[in-house]
Structure 1
Amino acid sequence: MREGTTLILASSSPRRRELLQGLGLAFTVMTSDVDETTSPELTPAEVVEQLALRKAGAVAKKVSDGIVLGSDTIVVLDGQILGKPADEADAFRMLASLQGREHTVFSGVALVDAATGRTEVAHNATKVQVRSMTEQEIKAYIATGEPMDKAGSYAIQGIGATIVEGIVGDYFTVVGLPLHLTAQLLSRFGMSIL
């Protein structure tokens, strides 16, 4: 890797920022306003990889140097992608459909070298079991405001932890940035954590 290469996080997510800070890496933040529409023919894994790469690529075009990190997370239930809720009614619909069931969270990670165009893309998937909830509990959770900007309408790292019975896989994939996968990809660009 070139001397003094900067790491750039292509995300406004405070969760991703905190997770990356936890790795002890210096980085800057540049948000990418990209169209997140994808083809319905894509698998969930392809969706998160494509969107992560789209976000990283958009920021990489704005700078002349640096490694740009993009990430995307989706919740999948019965083959249907649950994005961020449009409103409280949409959040209620999502949470009602998830309760008492298992779903899968996919997080994609992409790195783009702004100087060379080299890319690395991968994803993780984690199964999440949500407990059964009453209508009142769902409404009370929505009233906290936490579900409104979260894929699937919940945040495992917040109050939403109280509705999650268990996971099979990587916790950080559910939060939105799989750290071991991110570290692996960064090491391919000469940015080692350990």
Structure 2
Amino acid sequence: MQKQPLSPQTGRTLVLASTSPYRRELLGRLGLPFETASPGVDETPLPDETAAATSLRLAIAKASALAGNYPDALLIGSDQVALLDGQQLGKPGTHERAVAQLQAMRGREVEFHTALALHDSRSARIVTAVDVTRVTMRDYSDAQIERYLLRDQPYDCAGSAKVEALGIVMIARVASDDPTALIGLPLIALVGMLNDAGVEVV
């Protein structure tokens, strides 16, 4: 998107440090002008790192990575990690890995840790939040897994099930304080951060 001031009140640029179409769509719901940029951050978890720590570290890293290119902007970074039995589930990337993830999650509860960071590149101040969403999966069959994956192809989605698309049929229950967090960007927390930064969303 073209550079433009965030609002007449602040004259600040808002930048989403992500190329994810899901996060771009979510941020677009707020009706604010913003740019998107790739942060170029390695998302590999560190040894013995918890899901909450991984998601928070990467959210901060994504927002901070763009500070040099946007010296007077508000930079948004977010990251999500799925956790099953203490094991992190990342983006499957392939059909085979997605099948394995969904088989392991079948009939189980999965935690999705979604971290958010707002980096004010003018002051270098960073504020953060982490949302934990608990998702109970249905007891679906292998045939249902195959049909779902062929239709939705959620290979860029942690946990292999897009709640905002057909993946909802694989889910029995969602427990969360913010329904947008599971999709990838916790808007309730973000609105609070923007308000504190002097940005009135409405």
Q: Which stretch shows the higher mean deviation, 130-139 or 112-121?
A: 112-121
Amino acid at match of 1:162: V
> 2:4 maps to which residue?
none
Write the distance in 1 (CA, Å) between the matches of 2:68 and 2:86.
Answer: 33
SS in 2 for 1:153: coil
Q: What TM-score comes out, normalization by structure 1 length?
A: 0.94
What is the CA deviation profile of residues 94-135 of structure 1, one whole-angstrom value per residue up to 9, with x for unaligned ones?
000111111111110001112221111111001001101111
Normalized per residue, the structure richer in helix is: 1
Find the partner of 1:180 among 162, 168, 188: 188
Q: Which stretch shows the higher mean deviation, 135-144 or 90-99?
A: 135-144
Q: Is 1:29–2:46 an aligned residue pair?
A: no
SS in 1 for 2:155: helix
What is the CA deviation profile of residues 67-114 of structure 1, one whole-angstrom value per residue up to 9, with x for unaligned ones?
000100111111111000132111100000111111111110001112
Q: Which stretch shows the higher mean deviation, 66-75 or 112-121?
A: 112-121
Q: Which runs of 4+ in 1 moved over 6 A?
A: none
Find the partner of 2:47 among 18, 25, 40: 40
**Residues 14-93 of structure 1 correspond to what in structure 2 (within 5 A)?**
14-93=21-100
> 1:166 maps to which residue?
173
> 2:107 maps to which residue?
100
Determine if contact 2:10/2:198 at 8 Å carries over to the other structure.
no
Q: Which stretch shows the higher mean deviation, 38-47 or 76-85?
A: 38-47
RMSD (CA atoms):
1.6
Deviation at 1:48, TM superposition (A): 0.8
Amino acid at match of 1:8: V
Determine if contact 2:152/2:165 at 8 Å carries over to the other structure.
no
Amino acid at match of 2:37: M
Write the distance in 2 (CA, Å) between the matches of 1:92 and 1:61.
Answer: 40
Q: Which stretch shows the higher mean deviation, 129-138 or 141-150?
A: 141-150
Determine if contact 1:141/1:147 at 8 Å carries over to the other structure.
no
- Identity level (%): 36
How many residues in Structure 1 have an aligned counterpart in Structure 2?
194
Write the distance in 2 (CA, Å) between the matches of 1:78 and 1:50.
Answer: 21
Amino acid at match of 1:103: V
Q: Is 1:13–2:20 an aligned residue pair?
A: yes
Q: What TM-score comes out, normalization by structure 2 length?
A: 0.91
Find the partner of 2:136 among 129, 141, 149: 129
Amino acid at match of 2:102: L
Unaligned runs of 5+ in 1: none
